[in-house]
Amino acid sequence: MNLLSALALGLGALFWLWGTAPLLGRAALLVKLHSLTVADTLGSALILLGLLLRGPRQWPLLLLALAMLLIWNALLGYVLAAQPPLPPGRREP
Amino acid sequence: MTTPIPPLPAALPVLLLTTALRLTLWCLLTSDLSPLNLGLGLAVALLLPHRRRTLPLGAFLAALGQALVAIPQAYGEAFRLMLARQPLNGLVREPSQAEGSDLVIALEIFRLSVTPFTLVLGLESDGRHYRVHRRRPGPTQRGKGGRQR
């Protein structure tokens, strides 16, 4: 169980690094948001899962954190990505 | 746009659902299942403001199922995006099954936002489609179990 937990924590950290590194680059906002989904939502969820596997003592708070993470990340990602519709004839840059 | 307030029986499913959700969050937050705490949680869940609204139950359950299935799918997409050499970007339209229900819209936006391939940019003016920005592995990755939608 500890091995599984370490695996989840390590993979989560990897997701974090891969997804957060593009923030420093010059990529478009939406491209950065795609990789942030990987880092923030999926990576953080893996890390929380790894912590959950360590024992049931902190389960209520960790489960609450997991639920809030998934909901708020997805919806705040939407808030960041939401744009007015493109005028007709204009293509995505 | 104003929607008429539905009568109480029609709004009951949403009332029960939100109360149950609030009570669950209360129990997780306090991590205490004693009767006194449950009663307090129930009181708080009922006293917090409720909005009367109806729920298209079939669409809601379908969206809930798809949103839950999307979480493991998101990990598969994350790996494929991480391995992709030259991902393709583009705008697509995704149909919405929401029938005007904001709960179903929230679930559908969750499903599209949680998967790394898709980001929701907004609802089309017709209200029946989402504008979705899609980033997915390029042609070299196709055929490796790549799901084309």
As given in the structure block, the two tokens for residue B33 are 């299942």
For tokens 């010059």, the residue is A26
Which is higher by pLDDT, B127 or B120?
A: B120
> Which B residues in the span 35-94 are in contact with A, Cβ-Cβ below 8 Å?
71, 74-75, 78, 81-82, 89-91
Top-confidence residue, A57 or B35: B35
pLDDT tens by residue, A14-32 = 999 999 998 898 888 888 8
pLDDT tens digit sequence for B60-103: 999 999 999 999 999 999 999 999 888 899 999 999 988 878 88
Instruction: Tell me how far apart the alpha carbons of residues A21 and A32 are, in angstroms, rounded to a whole number.
Output: 9
Contacts of B114 in chain A (CB under 8 A): 37, 41-42, 70, 73-74
Domain ranges of chain A: 2-81
Residues of chain A with C-beta less than 8 angstroms from the C-beta of B120: 78, 81-82
Which of B18, B86, B133, B136 to probe by mutation at the A interface, max A CB count within 10 Å?
B133
pLDDT greater at residue B102 or residue A68: A68
Distance CA B30, CA B27 (A): 5
Question: Which band of pLDDT confidence, cut at 50, 70 and 90, is reported for residue B145?
Answer: very low
ipTM over 0.90: no
pLDDT for B141 equals 44
Q: Nearest residue of B to residue A37 by CA position? A: B116
If one compares B129 and A1, the residue with the highest pLDDT of the two is B129
With CA atoms as reference, the chain A residue closest to B28 would be: A60
Burial B136-148 (b: 16+ CB within 10 A, else e): bbeeebeeeeeee
Are B78 and A81 an interchain contact pair (Cβ–Cβ within 8 Å)? no
Dist. CA B62–CA B114, nearest whole Å: 17
One-letter identity of residue B49 = P
pLDDT at B133: 92
Asked if A60 and B28 come within 8 Å (Cβ–Cβ), the reply is: yes
